[in-house]
Amino acid sequence: MSTATLPSARSRRRGIRGAGGGWAPYVFLTPFVVLFLVFLVAPIITALYTSLFTVERSGLGFGNENASIFVGLENYRRALSNQGFVASFGRVLLFGVVQVPIMLALATGLALLFDSAVVRWKRFFQLAVFIPYAVPTVVAALLWGFLYQPRVSPLVSGLEAIGLDIAFLAPGTVLWSIANVTTWSVTGVNMIIIFAALQTVPRDIYEAARIDGARELRVALQIKLPMVLPAIFLTLLFSIIGTLQLFNEPMTLRSITSNVTGDFTPNMAVFSTTTLGGNLNLGSAMAILLGLVTFALSILVSVLSNRRKGGS
């Protein structure tokens, strides 16, 4: 019976291939390829093309005639000589150097804590930590903006009552006030990623370590943490990309303080140049430069992660 079934199954598969089954993978891939080309490749090519031109206007406002003129890398030279745009990179890099390690330390610590046996009502506390991620960033910035404002904020009033006079929106502190909003928003989702990685580690390893006399802290630092390093590198990569794309929080706080300028972050500088300044060509060059910096840092993190895998 089995010898009769096998040839018939093979003949059916041959029949499917012969009826055009070889095209099936391409049919399923087509929607992805079309969306990839339209929404990712085409905008990059358009921005590259636009960044190589400039628009010359004539007519003094009457019967304007706009002419696109090829200027090569002139827009890139102008972008790199724009002090506000260059300074915004330094600002977000300082932001990332301080905020990302603190946020990842909090996320990793919470994940290790929830994976241990010392916490009760884990689901409740995990949900409580994750909920800020579900709050839109604009709403989160508005909420914290209210808490940062003197005279109306209960947080400021409470700190003043114990002798702490902190101006959250001052020129020297507004960057860290934005960092606080970002940390509050994204710590939960990074904690979930690291916690999910911890669930894939075989429990036998923990039991063997405990039988050998290892305490919970040693198990966490010498077994759990090395096992979830790939997940931590993944969250680091996402955090670096998110830092360079910082936009919603400072843009929202800009409505309540003048200490957030229009070119506070690279994304805000691109937005100001293209929309408020009306210079699409220069804005495209800025966007390309921002993309290149993001790509370079992402490659650096990937190389470090791969080296760590090769060394382990």
| Domain range enclosing 184 | 89-267
One-letter identity of residue 244: L
Average pLDDT of every residue of the chain: 87
In angstroms, the CA 250 to CA 181 distance is 10
Residue 84 domain flag: no
Residue 241 domain flag: yes
223-230's contacts with Cβ under 8 Å and 24+ in sequence apart are 224/112, 224/115, 224/198, 225/108, 225/112, 226/312, 227/197, 227/198, 227/201, 228/108, 228/111, 228/194, 228/197, 228/198, 228/201, 229/308, 230/197, 230/305, 230/309
* pLDDT tens-digit series, residues 249-296: 999 999 888 999 999 999 999 999 999 888 999 999 999 999 999 999
Share of residues in the chain with pLDDT > 70 (%): 89
Residue 219 domain flag: yes
Closest residue by Cα to residue 73 from 57, 50, 52? 52
Token duo for residue 139: 């709403």
Q: Indicate the number of domains in the chain.
A: 1
Q: Pairing state of beta strands 53-58 and 65-70?
A: antiparallel
Extract the runs of DSSP E, i.e. beta strands, from the chain: 53-58, 65-70
pLDDT value at residue 203: 85
- CATH number, domain of 165, equals 1.10.3720.10
Q: Say which residues have a Cβ less than 8 Å from residue 102's Cβ, sequence separation at least 6.
A: 179, 183
In angstroms, the CA 63 to CA 214 distance is 81
pLDDT value at residue 176: 94
Residue 82 domain flag: no
Phi-psi region of 61 (alpha: psi -120 to 50; beta: other; left: phi over 0): left
Residue 19 binned pLDDT confidence (cut-offs 50, 70, 90): low
Residue 196 domain flag: yes
pLDDT value at residue 4: 47
Residue 41 domain flag: no
User: Is the pLDDT score of 187 beyond 50?
Assistant: yes
Residue 202 domain flag: yes
In angstroms, the CA 253 to CA 139 distance is 11
Residue 301 binned pLDDT confidence (cut-offs 50, 70, 90): confident
Share of residues in the chain with pLDDT > 90 (%): 56
Higher-confidence position of 68 and 66: 68
Residue 32 domain flag: no
In angstroms, the CA 206 to CA 193 distance is 20
